[in-house]
Structure 1
């Protein structure tokens, strides 16, 4: 028989048999319920486990019969309890295989409406296929797993999956529309998509898995892998350690393992609107997006994980890091990161560390920012699941924190940090570093460069921090320091600090003042008084308990000392005292006391020496500033100081018409209240060194004035100043008060010719000689008043009789001079008398530097009226010799000008003229145009006389 015929006969036979079988099946399928027991037996044999079901139905799908079983249970091998239950079982039978094998050979097994529970406890996994099962039997689990492994093609639909990890307190539920288990030559492939159900989590998970095992005995060392693709996972309920995960997570990756162990995990994630937190606490993670690649591998009693290409986007910033590596073993977690965002890390640590919720308000208040690179951290996990930090090492980059309670604000902090629970160290190397403690300073203290090394240690008594060195600087100063800070448990801190400040710009002192511990009045003074200069070679020493500052009892030490160069001090800000410039001084703060001891300085161009500026207690309210010093320079500067200070009112107003020359030495002391509205107390001691004083209103000059003049904020007082007045020595005393004004009293000897010069009579050679005098000069707000009593015994008067007087002849002169000088151009009023025989009243103009006679009267009786212009001689004269007066007038030098006397109205007892004597002659007349026109009348003569003056 040929091969062709064999094939033909075989096909025909198969077709005939198949037709018979199909025909039989179509006839028998509707009557399957009558064969319930037989079918249940055959299905149990095909399943390899006892199977029970309530109902059965069948249909043909093409050439394949399909059986549907309802409310099915798969029992254990000994048939004593179910290991799997489901609503429906669908079997699609392969007729050829069934005929060849002599048993039911399904090509498809589909389970519907079942539930699988997977439980992990004590490192072991068990599987339960019963709805609502809360306990498992290890043997039943093995039977179920073994049964599943032997399925050639199993579909699971409408299934609920439940996973519970007792060790990690994880409980998750999923629903699966379709799961497929496909037997392959060397293992089992599982694929499908599940969705989260029964919790606040939402999203779906695509799973593709391969298990290289066909028997349960092979599971212990079988290799396997799982591909996971999570779409929009969203969850807002606590998982392990009460941690809440929120946001939408897309994750894709592979999990590789052997037996029950995971060998490797690799993948990537995109976490939108990420939230990782604990209930009622600050989120550990919150932002717009977190993207990263990751891998994980187990180690002995732990795991090793790595985040790569991490990118975290917050609401207002974006952070990128190379990688973050973490390892966990023996309850220890090691974290190693190329670069980590500080805000991100701080929130994580406070979330995982024990009692982390206690630090949440601090973290919220500090709001740390910045970056950490080469980050390494060791954490330990306690039996209760809490975490503790064992060690931390990192490089800090531009770290900043807000001020929180007593913690200062910091910005742009960079350096290297090493931290353990009991000790730590930070090496700072920062650019544009900022430091601010709002309760102490007004604003941020900025340093262009700052380098420092600090370590600390925690012991049973508290914390000890050591500043090994600090070097910083900016445009205002250079700073160096080192010290130790002890923080005893429950006690005040103890500080030992030594520092140096150099090249400090004093004008910028306001930003460095610790205003939080200083009275406002002191702060206002320091703000306004220190206007410039540099503080160099300054040292700081602080040694003591902080709550005992400023160590009044000697139980500690606080000192700041340094040298001021080119300082500018407005020692009474707002009171308009002239400032001190070019100060070279020693500055010291000792305890609560401040002192500036000056070696040199200037007020105007007068030199200062031995200057001391002191505030006794910077803490005390109602403080006084004491200024003491010596001033050497021109007296004009001293007078300018009075006029340009608050002394102008009580003192300077009496000196408005005073001009001075020469040098002086002033010892000055000021008590300056720092409280607004209080008055300054002044104590001055002025030494006059041969000065010249000129009172512009009276045109009186004092020359070579020497002596001591004392003054305060209300008055001036000087006793026995020596001077030269009108060419002779004089002694002058000065006294002023608000009620009486300025009073100058004194006496001495004067040259009469100097007085004549003062009166403008020097050209007339009226008199010469010396006179002893006493005077009183009063200057008040209205003007001046001068009285003089003089002895003319030493004076010779060169006028003809009856005015002539020889030296040695006794005569007394009384003089009174007054002026309402407060009114501009008001003249001087001069009155004098000689032995109560001659009386002179004159008005002297002040339009020029010298007094000029505008009008007057010379009389033999007091109180005679003055003419409107010119000088009148009037009264009863004893004897006049016309030729003698003519000769005197003729002796006057050229350029003398017109005579002072230009009017006469007198009765002369005897008048001699041209050899004739006329008794009781009445003379009246005026000098006009250089010519006297006189009217004469007596018993012997009557007529007019015209006389031309040379």
Structure 2
């Protein structure tokens, strides 16, 4: 007999013997499983002792699920001995066993599946958790959270069931999850939880939750985890109202949210997410804000003594304004002796939209809110950064950014401006601004009769504070308007005392139409007789080169 034929016969013999052994194994298993229903009463007594309650089983059967023996307990009812009102009803419990362990007498199930059940998870007023009816704490009367039994099996499942979340700590209404699918799996110190469920029909929405934990989950800090959460079509007025935001309520809105989080030593260390909200209505005291769309992505990280937050593609639309996609990041650090540091950077911020949002939120001091309300600022803030450092006895700040087509109403010494652009930086003591204005206007009310139209304006302004007051200075500013072209220098001193401010202004005209002289006269600081004479003096004519104007002295 050749070696090939010998190998073929050997392989056929092994295959035949394996089939016979498998058939004997299955037949033996089925024979043993047929006697299982006779032990229903014994099983009820055993489970009652193990779970510290009265367990009733309406039906018991056994079958082979593939190669795994499986027990099926139908219509299981559990009443806690210490709390007869705490009843857990389960349509079916399926217990799957490892075949080798099963025949060796080890009857600990490798997988537990609950079907068609109603489970209540409760957070007690002291912060502990409980699963009503499934506590292993036989002495305490509060059914408090020892879930070590969940970690003993390889796999625990809940299928097509209802889960109720009851929060006694915050005294909030219950949350009910329908058609819940839950998988809890253990592999030594690695634990995995997956949940898919629908919100109640009256609120709509669904969510997915997945958590992977490594370590001793029963300890207070000896574990790490990562989690994923996704919710769709969540009714904001039903669930975000649970956040207890001060004086802020959410009247309506629908949202989608997706989160990725990391936990280190049982503490949250990182969160990333996407957020999309539609047709939201916010109510704060007597004011209402309607937000038709809000979306963005964000990332939060825990730092040493602080945190950082980064957001991108941030956009929202209200009935009054719209913020197109923008981004920002914020970094906070706590320091010794109650000091702190905050740094932030933003890009593509719609100043009108942000002003409107800040006025509604009222997170700023009333003095700042009044400035926003009266100036009605609009335009874009690009590539801006801001930092604040508070020490024990002082506060220092610095800011830089690009302004694009900014418009404001007059406020205090600030003029009314339209379509002003520029780049600048400032601290609490000094700063500078490079102007780059196209097709704008500026109006110093009380100084000039009318707004000054600007075809183009460029130059640099600087300001600084010393012990005498503020000094605002420019060595060169070029103005092109429809009627005049000028080059100017200026020095303006604003004292901290009651003394009058003083100015040193020199303007040279390279081209001017004398018929419009009156529009460019600073009548607010000029003698009335001089103004009257200048109004009548220039009837016609042009200045080509060499004209000039000088103002120097105190401002009354």
TM-score, normalising length from structure 2?
0.71
Match of 1:453 in 2: 461
Change (3 A) 1:215 1:15: farther
Partner deviation per Cα, 1:153-194 (whole Å, 9 max, x = no partner) = 14284334468999xxx9997433225132054431322246
| Secondary structure of 1:364 counterpart | helix
Larger-Rg structure: 1
1:220 equivalent to 2:222? Answer yes
Query: 1:479, 1:501 within 8 Å by CA — same for their partners in 2?
Result: yes
CA contact (8 A) 2:277 2:294 kept: yes
By relative contact order (CA 8 Å, sep 6+), the higher-ranking structure is: 2
Tell me by how many angstroms 1:414 deviates.
Answer: 1.8
1:148–1:492 CA distance, 2 compared to 1 (3 A):
farther
The aligned counterpart of 1:400 is 407
Deviations 1:17-46 (A, max 9, x none): 634643551x554xx4x87543312xx2xx
Cα distance, 1:292 vs structure 2: 3.0
Counterpart position of 1:190: 194
Q: Which runs of 5+ in 1 are unaligned?
A: 45-50, 75-80, 132-139, 550-950
Give the Cα–Cα distance (whole angstroms) in 2 for the partners of residues 390 and 18 of structure 1.
79
For the aligned residue pairs, the C-alpha RMSD in angstroms reads: 4.9
Q: Distance in 2 between matches of 1:9 and 1:250?
A: 55
Question: In structure 2, what is the equivalent of residue 208 of structure 1?
Answer: 210
Match status 1:483 vs 2:517: no
Q: CA deviation at 1:88?
A: 3.3
More moved, 63-72 vs 396-405: 63-72
Decide which of 507, 513, 523 is 1:505's aligned counterpart: 513
1:297 aligns with 2:301: yes
Q: CA deviation at 1:203?
A: 5.4
Does the aligned pair in 1 maintain the 2:47–2:55 contact within 8 Å?
no
Alpha-carbon distance in structure 2 between the residues aligned to 1:323 and 1:524: 53
Matched residue, 1:56: 56
Find the partner of 2:120 among 114, 117, 124: 114
Q: Take 1:174 and 1:389, find their aligned partners in 2: how far apart are those partners?
A: 47
Unmatched 5+ residue regions in structure 2? 1-12, 64-70, 133-141, 335-339
Contact (CA 8 Å) 2:185, 2:193: kept in 1 or not?
A: yes
1:308 aligns with 2:302: no
| Paired position in structure 2 for 1:180 | 182
- 2:554 pairs, out of 540, 543, 550, with 543
Aligned to 2:222, what secondary structure does the other structure show? helix
CA deviation profile, 1:505-559 (whole Å, cap 9, x unmatched): 3312343456789999998997677433457211111324xxxx3xxxxxxxxxx
Selected match of 1:250 from 247, 256, 273: 256
Give 2:502's aligned residue: 495
Offset of residue 413 of structure 1: 1.9
Closer, same or farther: CA 158–518 of 1 in aligned 2, 3 Å:
farther
Alignment counterpart, residue 27 of structure 2, candidates 15, 35, 38: 15
Structure 1 residues 402 and 182, CA gap change in structure 2 (3 angstroms): same
Q: Give the SS at the match of 2:483.
A: coil
Aligned residue pairs: how many? 498
Deviation, structure 1 residue 415: 1.9
For residues 213 and 204 of structure 1, what CA distance do their matches in structure 2 show? 30
Q: 2:342 aligns with which of 305, 308, 333?
A: 333
* Paired residues of 2:346 and 2:384 also in contact (CA < 8 A): yes
| 2:47 aligned partner | 39
Q: 1:130 to 1:104 in 2, by over 3 A?
A: closer
Task: Return closer, same or farther for 1:329/1:433 CA change in 2, 3 Å cut-off.
Answer: same
Matching residue within 435, 438, 444 for 1:431: 438
Secondary structure of the residue aligned to 2:348 is: strand
* Deviations 1:132-153, CA, capped at 9 Å, x for gaps: xxxxxxxx99963544444521
Cα deviation per residue 1:749-781 (whole Å; 9 max; x = unaligned)?
xxxxxxxxxxxxxxxxxxxxxxxxxxxxxxxxx
Distance 2:204 2:398 in 1: 38
- Following the alignment from structure 2 to structure 1, what is the Cα–Cα distance between the partners of residues 466 and 364? 19
Separation (CA, whole Å) in 2 of partners of 1:164 and 1:457: 57
SS at match of 1:359: helix
The 1:278–1:426 alpha-carbon spacing in structure 2 relative to 1, beyond 3 Å, is farther
- TM-score, normalization: structure 1? 0.44
- Conserved 8 A contact 1:107-1:153: yes
- In the TM superposition, residue 426 of structure 1 has moved relative to its aligned partner by 3.0
1:342 aligns with one of 336, 351, 354: 351
1:158 aligned residue: 162
SS of match in other structure, 1:129: strand
Deviations 1:419-469 (A, max 9, x none): 44565443333233321245665542122223231324498x9x6242234
